[in-house]
Amino acid sequence: MPKLDKTEEILALPAAERLRLVEKLWDSLAADQASVPMPEWHRAELDRRMERHTAGMGTTAPWETVKSRLTKRTRKRQRP
């Protein structure tokens, strides 16, 4: 089956099924991290943030606080 046909089939799936497919694809990429190159600027940013955190200059928040903020932000964007 040509790739285009597969893409059209995937796009025709209900949203929940497409989401499950995305999750499976993401998991397959995460399982083989060496096959997904990280841009150097990502590595530099991670190093910078770790240095700030180690030096006590970074800020942290409990997961529940972060989750609450993100949930509120998402709800605001979804309102018409």
Name the DSSP letter for residue 53.
Answer: H
DSSP 15-35: HHHHHHHHHHHHHHHHHTGGG
Give the total residue count for the chain: 80
pLDDT, tens only, 19-45: 999 999 999 988 888 888 889 999 999
- The CA-atom distances, in angstroms, between 42 and each of 28, 36, 39, 49 are 21, 13, 5, 11
pLDDT band at 3; cut points 50, 70, 90:
low
| Tokens, residue 28 | 């397959």
Q: What is the pLDDT of residue 79?
A: 72
4: pLDDT strictly greater than 70: no
pLDDT, tens only, 43-80: 999 999 999 999 999 788 999 999 999 999 888 887 76
